[in-house]
Amino acid sequence: MTQFNFLSFFVAVLLAGQVANTLPTTGEHPTQTLPAGTPQVFGLATNWTTPVNSSLGVNRVARPNDGLAVSAVDVETLKYYGRLASVSRCSFSTGKFECSTFCSKYPGTTLIKFFNTPNTNTTGYIARNDANKAVYVAFRGSTNINNWVHDAEFLFTKYSPARGAKVHSGFYKTWQDARNIVYPIVVKEMGRNPDYKLYMLGHSLGGALTVLQALDFYQNAGYDSSKMAVYTFGQPRIGNPAFSDYVDSLDLPIYRTINQNDVVPHMGPEAIGYKHHGTEYWIENSQGDVVECSTDEDSTCANSEVPFTSIPAHLQYWDIKFSTLC
């Protein structure tokens, strides 16, 4: 069974290679359309390159954003947690926090648990760094994002902690499966180390699980913004506007980073009722500059790239390759 099977409850509704004018749009209100023949899903290009390929006869309009420039120090912080998120793709075969990518950048980190859930085959790790007074939980995203983008179905389920809130049924079921392993271990570690902070990390589909996890710890373990922080990279939309409003009302430190024209953050289409939560940190160019956007769905940040989106942009943020297993 592959790790991708943790999405087995999604029904295949789209076919790879479908082209322009055959699918519903995301609802993001782009001012331009894709040329006929462009491979796409939900009105989003799956492999658009930047700069625009002039042979397609499209002059993509660059739109200035109204976000605040993020300092170099804060960008490095995003990279720090992005690299920690990326090593969730490693097997930790030695039983220690050792791998062939970024593990050596985090000396003193102890692997507590590498997990693989029984029902949804979701993988990730729990680790601790005593010098940093930190407990880390990271979820790995899908190992085949191309298949997921083309085959995903976005069904809602009720999210009972918030009135009127609904979330993606697959993400919710997957977190419930992972919770049986993750929750008791984390609560035990945090109980042993009451002055430590919990950092929850995830890329892609793993980012969606990370947010649901953080809400669970807030609701049931009593962890507030002083006890935890969330960093997601290329996270899809999770729920409806009522869910988004609920997450925003908690004022939890959730840092939602999107790379340029990454297609996945536009999945969970607005057209069928999905809405992002929290502050968007948008990597606006190939130089890796970041802006802090002004709203949950800022039309001048990542949404300004619609419909000229790309799967490759999802797989590498700065120097961090989320496509590499180690």
319 is catalytic: no
Contact in structure between 87 and 93 (CB atoms under 8 Å): no
**If you ran DSSP here, which 8-state letter would residue 172 be given?**
H
Question: How deeply is 131 buried, as exposed, middle or buried, from its count of CB atoms within 10 A (0-12, 13-18, 19+)?
Answer: exposed
262 is catalytic: yes
Q: Residue 59: CB partners within 8 Å, gap ≥ 6? A: 52
**If you ran DSSP here, which 8-state letter would residue 262 be given?**
B
Closest CA to 10 of 221, 242, 205, 262: 205
216 is catalytic: no
Catalytic-labelled residue, pool 86, 204, 244, 304: 204
Token duo for residue 178: 């992972």
Catalytic-labelled residue, pool 151, 216, 262, 298: 262
Round to whole Å and give the CA distance between 240 and 262. 21
Closest CA to 123 of 101, 144, 138, 103: 138
Q: Is the peptide bond before 51 cis (omega within 30 degrees of 0)?
A: yes
Round to whole Å and give the CA distance between 149 and 129. 35
Kindly list the distances between the CA atom of residue 294 and the CA atoms of 31, 76, 125, 169, 274, in Å, as whole numbers in the listed order: 20, 21, 32, 28, 19
Contact in structure between 175 and 213 (CB atoms under 8 Å): yes
Catalytic-labelled residue, pool 150, 266, 277, 314: 314
Instruction: Provide the annotated active-site residues.
Output: 204, 262, 314
